[in-house]
Chain A
Amino acid sequence: MGEVELSCLAYAKMYLHASQFPRCSVNGLLLSSSPAGGAVCITDCVPLLHTHLSLAPITQLALTQVDAWCSQTHQRIMGYYQANACVSDSSPTPCALKIAEKIFEQCNNAVLLMIDGEKMFPGCRVPPIVMYERKDARWALKDKHTIMLRQWEETCSIVNQLFSSGDQALLVDFDSHLDDITKDWTNQKLNAKIMELVSPANGNV
């Protein structure tokens, strides 16, 4: 398996999601709008849950709705991310493996991304990310050098700007949507703010 690119938009929202619920495990889906078969690019993400990650009904509901939205917007689900509540343990839980497996059934270059809470502090030089890919019937650690984060410094600065402007509070995950269905789990407003901050030099989304 080759390179995987992670866009600023996807990274920023994942980071914001994990930051919004520091005491919970959180998870979400990784999306791609680039055509299947080409280079793998994670262009967006949908934050899903911060409670009861391992219970089935809401996860199933969320997957179905995100699927429906993806077909409307020409995107596809190509991965899963999770940040564990216990910061010192960033290994995939059985629930993470199960959902990643399901995604792999539909997308053969699916990725599983664990957020490493211990590296989520201001000024950390390394992306707080551990990625897994499907190899030999199991999920194996992906070589760090095949994970591309274009304009890493700029991405970090965008995340910082979101925190200082208070815009990080705009993030809505599926759980919050169920608490108040007027909230938008597709995060159109936040997406627009992030895209405003992304300079033309950052290339694609």
Chain B
Amino acid sequence: MSSISELYDVCWEEMRDKLRKWREENYRNSEQIVDVGEELINEHASKLGDDVWIIYEQVMIAALDCSRDDLAWSCLQELKRQFPDSHRVKRLAGMRLEALERYEDANKLYDSILQDDPTNTAARKRKISILQAQGKSSEAIRELNEYLEQFVGDQEAWHELSELYINEHDYAKAAFCLEELMMTNPHNHLYCEQYAEVKYTQGGLENLELARKYFAQALKLNNRNMRALFGLYMSASHIAASPKVSAKVKKDNVKYAAWATSQISRAYQMAGRGKKENKCSVKAVEEMLESMQITMS
């Protein structure tokens, strides 16, 4: 079994830099992290300087994700030895217990951290994750709401809560969470687009019009967001087809839908160029656009 450095012809510095990039951009490509990180740790630990500790942490978490308890355990031992009283390392020990489904033991560990330091957000979030893993969504939602009352600026928590509400089909509350996120991140096209999807799902003319507006906003922020483009097309088409709208509203929405159609066709034509393999999906889109035109008029 050849090493990563042989397979990809990279030196240890490049491997270290790759790990840093993945760390900074919060990628969850755990198999890759384990492959690269394990080799880096085994062969080049002495060259890494102080970076080695954060790499142990990163590799440990990735190892848990890949059920590599052997690797996770050895990383944890190194960290425990170096930082014997650290809450951060204790949290990692808790995560390992979670991976082994020893939730009670993990909770005890997190509770001991919180006794020492009630403001430790990492431990609180792990406790909520345990509730999610156990399928206790209503409790997770309740705990997360309580958490957000104290830590109202935590974007990750707001997004997690919106996801929980979406899974529970509580679209009104999911929309509220996404509104918070859009307020603090006005340039994030993904939040606009998710908000629009929630509104569309809630249904009714008013929500469809809101959905259309936010799909359009998402496109303004990122004109390559295909979900937003399709969303704009579908919401405008549905509004235009509704018997409750005035002639002007109908006309406007037909225009929006037509614009969206041309953008979609163009995008697919560019995607289809030279690629034999996606001819089927291109054809399917063309047919779909045609069939929806008929229902609209």
Bound pair: A and B?
Answer: yes
Q: Which residues of A contact B (CB under 8 A)?
A: 52, 54-58, 60-61, 64-69, 71-73, 86, 88-89, 94-95, 177-179, 181-186, 188-189
Interchain CA distance A66-B281 in the complex, whole Å:
9
Binary contact track B140-159/A, C-beta < 8 Å → 1, others 0: 00000000000000000000
5 contacts between A and B (CB under 8 A): A68-B285, A89-B135, A179-B226, A181-B271, A184-B277
Q: Which of A58, A68, A71, A179 contacts B197 (CB 8 A)?
A: A58
Interchain CA distance A182-B211 in the complex, whole Å:
26
Given A52-B166, A178-B227, A181-B271, do A57 and B280 touch, yes or no (CB 8 Å)? Answer: no
B227 CB → nearest A CB, Å: 5
Query: Which residues of B sit under 8 angstroms from A189, Cβ to Cβ?
Result: 277
Query: Which residues of A sit under 8 angstroms from B268, Cβ to Cβ?
Result: 181
Given A52-B166, A52-B197, do A60 and B281 touch, yes or no (CB 8 Å)? Answer: no
Q: Which of B227, B271, B284 contacts A182 (CB 8 A)?
A: B271
Query: Which of B10-18, B71-79, B286-294 lines the interface with chain A?
Result: B286-294
Contact B284 A66 (CB under 8 A): yes
Contact B226 A86 (CB under 8 A): no
Query: Which residues of B sit under 8 angstroms from A179, Cβ to Cβ?
Result: 226
Binary contact track B215-230/A, C-beta < 8 Å → 1, others 0: 0000000000011001
Given contact pairs A54-B166, A61-B230, enumerate 17 new A-B contacts (beta carbons under 8 Å).
A52-B197, A55-B197, A57-B196, A57-B197, A57-B200, A58-B230, A64-B288, A65-B284, A65-B288, A68-B287, A69-B280, A69-B281, A69-B287, A72-B283, A94-B169, A185-B281, A188-B277
Interchain CA distance A189-B280 in the complex, whole Å:
12
